[in-house]
């Protein structure tokens, strides 16, 4: 069932539906309006156009068609966020997110503590200002698959917080000052990724007693013209004076001379 916002009361039907967001239908037809109208299990499909940021607080699928771009972020206390995912069982796919700039912080997609999400086929670019992350998996559970993140003046993917964070990264192309930054009580696995940046994987253990687990076959690729300080994998960097335990397993790490 294809549902245009305003033409059907979604509360009156029981089966999952597809909510179409199209900016040409009127200024009220935003991504947030689609999410607010949808029920758990629905698909919110975003047609081509430039959109503002949104909070995804339900177990639904947010799907972008070609040309669907989030370009005007949410502003939360000086932090700019393209998408804030706070629900469980959420899938976000095929959207482009670009031009995220905040005075204190800038985040393309923030997986809020306690959330559970799949991020598939996202394109995130041009993220800078304050602390900058293409994706922040923050004390939550997330799977990244087939995402391309570039132009981040910070970490393309940031994983961690104080509470336990779980992340899987498969088949992604990640470019930032750090491709992947891991901190706190984090468990991460991944395969088939291309990592570009001054650090491929930076395990930044600044919480006493923190534990990170890597079971990875990341492929690292950095173009020398872009990056003159490639350091591959850094497994410990302690800001608090005493080395916390770090458990790491790195398998089949394949450095490439130049990024494809």
Say yes or no to pLDDT of 99 above 60. yes
Tell me what pLDDT residue 68 has.
96
Q: What's the average model confidence in pLDDT over 6-19?
A: 61
Q: What is the pLDDT of residues 244-254, one digit of tens each?
A: 444 444 444 44
Decide: 167 and 146 in contact? Cβ < 8 Å: no
Q: What is the pLDDT of residues 121-154, one digit of tens each?
A: 999 999 999 999 999 999 999 999 999 999 999 9
Tell me, letter by letter, the H, E, C secondary structure of 46-58: ECCEEEECEEECC
State percent of the chain over pLDDT 90: 52
Q: What's CA 110's distance to the chain center, in Å?
A: 6
Tell me what pLDDT residue 185 has.
77
CATH 2.160.20 given to domain 73-256: yes
Tell me what pLDDT residue 113 has.
96
Tell me what pLDDT residue 106 has.
98
List the domain boundaries for the chain: 73-256
Q: Which helix (H) or strand (E) holds 32?
A: helix 31-37
Beta strands in 160-259 (DSSP E): 165-170, 173-183, 186-196, 199-204, 212-221, 233-234, 249-250, 254-256
CA distance 132 to 246: 25
Q: What's the average model confidence in pLDDT over 97-106?
A: 97
More confident residue, 21 or 184: 21
Tell me what pLDDT residue 83 has.
98
């Amino acid at each position: 069932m294809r549902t245009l916002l305003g033409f059907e009361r979604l509360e009156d039907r029981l089966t999952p539906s597809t909510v179409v967001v199209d900016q040409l239908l009127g200024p009220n037809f935003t991504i947030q309006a689609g999410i607010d109208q949808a029920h758990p299990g629905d698909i919110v499909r975003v047609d081509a156009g430039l959109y503002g940021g949104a909070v995804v607080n339900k177990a639904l699928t947010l799907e972008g068609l070609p040309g669907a771009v989030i370009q005007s972020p949410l502003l939360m206390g000086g932090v700019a966020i393209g998408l804030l995912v706070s629900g469980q069982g959420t899938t976000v796919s095929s959207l482009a997110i670009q031009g995220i700039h905040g005075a204190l912080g800038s985040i393309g997609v923030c997986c809020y503590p306690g959330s559970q999400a799949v991020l598939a086929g996202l394109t995130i670019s041009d993220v800078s200002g304050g602390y900058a992350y293409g994706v922040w998996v923050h004390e939550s559970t997330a799977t990244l698959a087939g995402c391309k993140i570039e132009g981040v003046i910070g970490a393309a993917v940031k994983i961690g917080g104080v509470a336990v964070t779980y992340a899987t990264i498969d088949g992604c192309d990640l470019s930032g000052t750090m491709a992947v930054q891991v901190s706190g009580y984090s468990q991460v696995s991944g395969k088939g990724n291309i990592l570009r940046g001054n650090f491929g994987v930076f395990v930044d253990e600044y919480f006493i007693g923190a534990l990170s687990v890597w079971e990875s076959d990341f492929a690292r690729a950095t173009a020398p013209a872009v990056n003159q300080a490639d350091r591959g994998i850094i497994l410990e960097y302690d800001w608090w004076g005493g080395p916390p335990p770090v458990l790491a397993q790195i398998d089949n790490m394949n450095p490439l001379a130049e990024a494809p």
